[in-house]
Amino acid sequence: DGGITQSPKYLFRKEGQNVTLSCEQNLNHDAMYWYRQDPGQGLRLIYYSQIVNDFQKGDIAEGYSVSREKKESFPLTVTSAQKNPTAFYLCASSTREWQPQHFGDGTRLSIL
Amino acid sequence: DQQVKQNSPSLSVQEGRISILNCDYTNSMFDYFLWYKKYPAEGPTFLISISSIKDKNEDGRFTVFLNKSAKHLSLHIVPSQPGDSAVYFCAASPDRRSEKLVFGKGTKLTVNP
């Protein structure tokens, strides 16, 4: 069954630590995205990648970094520079048609 | 500046009745609109979309209506079922082939048995 796998489901970070959220897809999609959702808010775009070895900043990229070394994988690193990292993080992918985007089940990041 | 607005945070309807979820947008460059459904602790699931060249798109119990002059779209669910209880997000894009997607804050629908 094709889909998007995000791991872990829950993640805890200590102050000053970097953490990496995993996103893998086996849909053979070209484009991948990272969004952040805060309580009572819509999804906001952090980074997106349309092709391997290339990615673009979204609306709230500060304090985050990504890599796209393989078509199937688009990990997101939440760095210590992100001052308010507690949120629900969603990864998505799409074909070259770009829409619709298909989402994974998310990772909830909390600060200890 | 919120470009996609869902002004009702919640909506409650009886099973079997119609659910109408509303969405307004401010950016006239938006040309493609989508509705997603989200259960707690899961990712959003794509439901239905509409391009600005249409004013209606139907898929089973779900129909999306677009009024471009009013910058308003709505999602109708008929008949509503308890399993439809979820948060519904409206999203807009400048183009079907654009990677940009702007989301509203969502409306929590509760369908009572």
> What is the reported pLDDT for B67?
96
Per-residue pLDDT at A79 exceeds 90? yes
Q: How far apart are CA A95 and CA A105, in angstroms?
A: 19
| Yes or no, beta carbons of A101 and B105 under 8 Å apart | no
Per-residue pLDDT at B98 exceeds 80? no
Chain A positions in Cβ-Cβ contact with residue B89 (cut-off 8 Å)? 42-43
> What is the reported pLDDT for A1?
63
Chain A positions in Cβ-Cβ contact with residue B32 (cut-off 8 Å)? 99
Q: How far apart are CA B32 and CA B14, in angstroms?
A: 31
- Which chain A residues in 65-84 lie under 8 Å from chain B, judged by CB atoms? none
Residues 6+ apart with CB under 8 A from A39: none
Pairing between strand A10-13 and A107-111? parallel
Pair of tokens at residue B89: 């997000």
Per-residue pLDDT at B43 exceeds 70? yes
Burial of B96 per CB tally in 10 Å (0-12, 13-18, 19+): middle
pLDDT digits (tens, 9 = 90+) for A25-71: 999 999 999 999 998 888 999 999 999 999 999 999 999 999 999 99
Helix (H, G, I), strand (E, B) or coil at B84: helix
By C-alpha distance, the chain B residue nearest A10 is B41
**Token pair 């807009």 in the structure block, residue:** B92
Radius of gyration (C-alpha) of chain B in whole angstroms: 13
